[in-house]
């Protein structure tokens, strides 16, 4: 071997990220034993990850699986006869399986323990060749800094973040720089001009380019380790596995918070959202599936303080006249039955299209085809809706292009703002310049003093003074009492009964049931907590039946959420809404009686997770301060008046 002693290492398990995490152990042991030969037996695919370590010889081992490669490696090691042999195949997984979910050692530390050295986060010692660095410089030369890299695909589906393309578009929209994807099998084909795809068969060229980026965003896979090992700051989108264990690097490390919608309420490692018999889940876990890109991006901006990287918002000036003029031009070229509306929101937001379809028909005499995620029943029998198409959980950016290629005119509607798109009228395919100075974001739009539906109509150049989100579909419900009050303690079906900062405390609901003199009928989903003393209709009504029940109640009592919107859609005159974080005009309907906190209000979107954690750290005292006695007094008065009218 050329020296007195020789040391062999066996790691024939695939995984580039693991090889990055193995580097400190190898580098430290080589420095500790400089007079020894160091030979690592590994898979061929990971050799480039370690090829720059001085004093390390790499031997690729063939084989279809770990067992076959292990036999080949052991035969070679036995034939040579080494002074020391370290088998590193199972040292990490065996420890994690034995201790999860309470794993408290990183794989870097476990590799070091197995070899008998101390882990040092500064011992990755990645060295790139001149040609590799030249490739990186040439690739970045024509791109605008700062550079944010995004690694999309993990090795296994149970670590996958399902909204990566949406996140790319969201980051690119705000970034005054370039977003760079680093997956060799992915090429960005979206509309954002400041997104570039780094594609090269040479993994070291890709790695060298990643080392020159300003920030890396990635799932639990090789990308995070590639950035971290070269000193680049990393934001990890980790679900089942624990990022603070895996991200042991010298740069700044941050990661996505674990949402409270996670069924396990903790990092569950190798059992994400699976039955005990399911050892290899094939779907993204629940904890990542409910993590939306907009708040995730806000969390990244906040944790890294990169506000200076963002495009500066332009000063808003009213554009009502310009948009109305454009609307008239667009309507004049639309053919019969060739208009569509798109909205990707929940139950409450979807009701906005009931209004927009009405306004569009009044202006253009055209019925619209509406594209929504769900709740098609809202649009049945609507006189101004031609058809309903369901798009499931798809996001807005993925849907707008194929829809606008099929229609002469498409109204792309979001919460509080909207835009006209027309491929056939304009070769560019949209009217982006018209909306450059138009405000976006709920906190900004709140300053208009308008409901979110009024803001939508205003941005489309439609009349916006009156809200007409009325539905024309209902089905009679059997078993409802006389002169009842409809109540709901839920927010929406997607959050599955999660108690949010805008939720009225359950103990207040229970107390209300004792104080009201008239029958209380509880509506909502099966996930909503049962209120004792009420007639339980949770999960027992279809959308048409729910609309019937709300319209025939003497009053509706709820918090800001889907039921509130439906209350207006059925023209219920007595809707009482308890509000705290979302108090203001943006979600308020004319005629609704809003019972707002007198202590603290209006903190929605002060933080990305305002709906989950009180932004002002006072335990959502706003909603707790609304007393049941006050709500009961109002409810009793209204119900008494309704009873007197019916008897008269």
Q: Give the model's pLDDT for residue 436.
A: 47
Q: Which of 408, 425, 459 corresponds to the end of one domain? A: 459
Write out the residue range of the structural domain in which residue 43 sits. 5-115
Residues 338 and 381 in one domain: yes
Centroid of chain to Cα 106 = 27
Q: Which of 56-60, 105-109, 613-617 is the least confident region?
A: 613-617
Residues 561 and 604 in one domain: yes
Alpha-carbon dihedral of residues 62, 65, 70, 71, nearest 10 degrees? Answer: -80
What is the average pLDDT across 117-133?
95
What is the average pLDDT across 72-99?
93
Residues 416 and 497 in one domain: no
Residues 438 and 500 in one domain: no
Most confident region among 128-137, 168-177, 255-264 by mean pLDDT: 128-137
Residues 335 and 390 in one domain: yes
Q: Is the dihedral of CA 57, 63, 69, 74 positive or negative?
A: negative
Residues 604 and 503 in one domain: yes
List the CATH number of the domain containing 41: 3.40.50.2000
pLDDT confidence tier of residue 380, bands split at 50, 70 and 90: very high
Q: Give the model's pLDDT for residue 50.
A: 97
pLDDT confidence tier of residue 589, bands split at 50, 70 and 90: very high
For 277-320, what is each residue's pLDDT tens digit? 445 455 677 778 777 788 889 889 888 989 889 987 543 343 44
Domain assignment present for residue 121? The answer is no
In angstroms, the CA 73 to CA 66 distance is 10
* Greater pLDDT, 269 or 227: 227
Residues 305 and 326 in one domain: no
Residues 429 and 516 in one domain: no
Q: Give the model's pLDDT for residue 275.
A: 45
What is the average pLDDT across 559-587?
93
What is the average pLDDT across 392-414?
81
What is the average pLDDT across 517-525?
93
What is the average pLDDT across 234-244?
90
Q: Give the model's pLDDT for residue 224.
A: 95
425 phi-psi bin (left φ>0, alpha ψ -120 to 50, beta other) = alpha
Looking at 498-627, list the stretches that DSSP marks H as alpha helix, in order from N- to C-terminal side: 506-515, 543-552, 562-569, 621-624
Closest Cα partner for 190 from 174, 170, 176, 206? 170
Q: Give the model's pLDDT for residue 423.
A: 57
Domain assignment present for residue 464? The answer is no
Q: Give the model's pLDDT for residue 581.
A: 92
Q: Which of 98-112, 212-226, 417-431 is the least confident region?
A: 417-431
Domain assignment present for residue 470? The answer is no
Residues 245 and 358 in one domain: no
- Percentage of residues in the chain having pLDDT higher than 90: 55
* Greater pLDDT, 348 or 395: 348
Residues 534 and 401 in one domain: no
Q: Give the model's pLDDT for residue 419.
A: 82
CA atoms within 13 A on the CB side of 480: 23
What is the average pLDDT across 498-512?
92
Domain assignment present for residue 479? The answer is no
pLDDT confidence tier of residue 322, bands split at 50, 70 and 90: very low
Domain assignment present for residue 27? The answer is yes
What is the average pLDDT across 270-277?
56
> What is the total count of domains within the chain?
4
What is the average pLDDT across 31-59?
96
For 619-648, what is each residue's pLDDT tens digit? 889 999 999 999 999 888 887 776 666 555
pLDDT confidence tier of residue 476, bands split at 50, 70 and 90: very high
Question: Which residue reads 């690694």 in tokens?
Answer: 151
In angstroms, the CA 576 to CA 134 distance is 66
Q: Is the peptide bond before 400 cis (omega within 30 degrees of 0)?
A: no
Which phi and psi (to 5°) does residue 493 adopt? -75, -30
* Greater pLDDT, 447 or 61: 61
The predicted model scores a pTM of: 0.54
Domain assignment present for residue 498? The answer is yes
Secondary structure letter of residue 310 according to DSSP:
B
In angstroms, the CA 369 to CA 375 distance is 14
Residues 172 and 213 in one domain: yes
**Is pLDDT at 158 greater than 50 in this prediction?**
yes
Q: Which of 78-82, 110-114, 253-257, 502-506 is the least confident region?
A: 253-257
């Amino acid at each position: 071997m050329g020296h007195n002693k020789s040391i062999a290492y066996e790691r024939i398990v695939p995984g580039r990220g693991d090889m990055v995490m193995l580097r400190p152990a190898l580098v430290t042991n080589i420095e500790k034993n400089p007079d020894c030969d160091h030979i690592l037996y590994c898979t061929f695919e990971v050799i480039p990850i370690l090829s720059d370590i001085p004093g390390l010889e790499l031997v690729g081992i063939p084989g279809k699986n770990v067992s076959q490669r292990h036999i080949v490696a052991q035969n070679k090691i036995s034939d040579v006869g080494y002074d020391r042999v370290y088998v590193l195949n199972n040292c990490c997984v065996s420890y994690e399986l034995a201790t999860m979910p309470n794993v408290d050692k990183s794989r870097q530390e476990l590799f070091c323990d197995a070899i008998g050295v101390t882990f040092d986060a500064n011992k990755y010692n990645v060295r790139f060749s001149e040609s590799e660095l030249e490739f990186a410089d040439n690739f970045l030369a024509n791109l605008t800094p700062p550079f944010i890299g995004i690694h999309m695909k993990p090795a296994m589906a149970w670590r996958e973040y399902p909204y990566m393309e949406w996140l790319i578009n969201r980051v690119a929209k705000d970034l005054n720089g370039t977003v760079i994807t680093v997956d060799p099998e992915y090429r960005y084909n979206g509309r954002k001009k400041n997104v570039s795809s780094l594609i090269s068969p040479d993994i070291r060229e890709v790695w060298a380019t990643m080392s020159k980026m300003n920030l890396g965003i990635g799932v639990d896979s090789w990308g995070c380790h590639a950035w971290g090992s070269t000193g680049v700051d990393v934001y990890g989108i980790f679900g089942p596995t624990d990022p603070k264990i895996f991200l042991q690097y010298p740069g700044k490390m941050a990661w996505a918070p674990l949402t409270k919608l996670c069924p396990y309420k903790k990092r569950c490692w190798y059992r994400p959202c699976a039955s005990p018999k399911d050892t290899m889940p094939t779907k993204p876990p629940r904890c990542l599936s409910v993590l939306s890109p907009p708040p995730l991006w806000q969390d990244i901006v906040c944790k890294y303080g990169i506000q200076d990287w963002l495009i500066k918002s332009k000063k808003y000036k009213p554009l009502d006249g310009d948009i109305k003029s454009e609307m008239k031009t667009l309507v004049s070229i639309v053919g019969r039955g060739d208009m569509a509306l798109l909205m990707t929101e929940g139950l409450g937001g979807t009701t906005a299209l009931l209004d927009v379809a009405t306004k569009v028909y009044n202006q253009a005499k055209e019925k619209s085809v509406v594209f929504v995620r769900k709740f098609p029943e809202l649009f049945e029998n609507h006189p101004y809706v031609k058809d309903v198409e369901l798009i499931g959980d798809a996001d807005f950016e993925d849907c707008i292009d194929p829809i606008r290629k099929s229609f002469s005119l498409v109204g792309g509607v979001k919460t509080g703002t909207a835009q006209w798109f027309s491929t056939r009228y304009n070769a560019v395919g949209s009217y982006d310049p018209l909306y450059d100075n138009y405000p976006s974001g709920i906190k900004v739009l709140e300053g208009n003093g308008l409901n979110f539906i009024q803001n939508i109509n205003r941005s489309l150049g439609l009349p916006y003074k009156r809200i007409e989100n009325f539905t024309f579909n209902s089905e009679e419900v059997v078993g409802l009492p006389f002169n009842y009050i409809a109540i709901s303690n839920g927010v929406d079906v997607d959050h599955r009964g999660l108690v949010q900062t805008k939720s009225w405390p359950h103990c207040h609901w229970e107390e209300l049931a004792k104080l009201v003199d008239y029958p209380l009928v509880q509506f909502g989903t099966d996930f909503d907590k049962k209120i004792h003393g009420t007639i339980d209709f949770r999960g027992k009504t279809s959308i048409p039946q729910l609309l019937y029940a709300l319209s025939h109640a003497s009053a509706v009592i709820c918090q800001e959420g889907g039921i509130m919107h439906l209350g207006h859609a059925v023209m219920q005159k007595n809707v009482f809404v308890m509000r705290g974080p979302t108090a203001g005009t943006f979600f308020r309907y004319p005629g609704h009686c809003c019972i707002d906190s007198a202590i603290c209000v209006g903190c929605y979107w002060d933080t990305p997770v305002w709906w989950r954690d009180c932004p002002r750290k006072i335990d959502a005292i706003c909603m707790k301060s609304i007393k049941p006695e006050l709500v009961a007094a109002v409810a009793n008065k209204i119900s008494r008046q309704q009873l007197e009218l019916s008897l008269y």
